[in-house]
Amino acid sequence: MEHRLFGEISKNWSGIPLESYETMLKFIRTTKTTTGLKIKAHLVRKKYKKGNKVPDEQMSQIQINKHDTFPEWNYTITPRKM
């Protein structure tokens, strides 16, 4: 999902508990920006394998800048300047 839509989604469900996947998907699917952008969403129930490591060669090609607020969740990945 494009990051600029997160704010619009948050405004749409503001203050309402997200008690189920269905509730969450309803709010995401009914979000629309003032310019008319709409969001399509579906639930993926696949279980992904944890602990996959990115090879050192790939890690050397990127730069991870952690944000001050919740740095483990909020970060920006950019190409490393060579």
Distance CA 39, CA 10 (A): 13
**Res 82: pLDDT:** 60
Query: 77: Cβ–Cβ under 8 A, 6 or more apart, which residues?
Result: 62, 63, 64, 65
Write down the pTM of the prediction. 0.53
pLDDT tens across 29-69, in order?
A: 988 888 888 888 999 999 989 999 999 999 999 999 999 98
What tokens were used for 13? 């469900």
Distance CA 2, CA 33 (A): 12
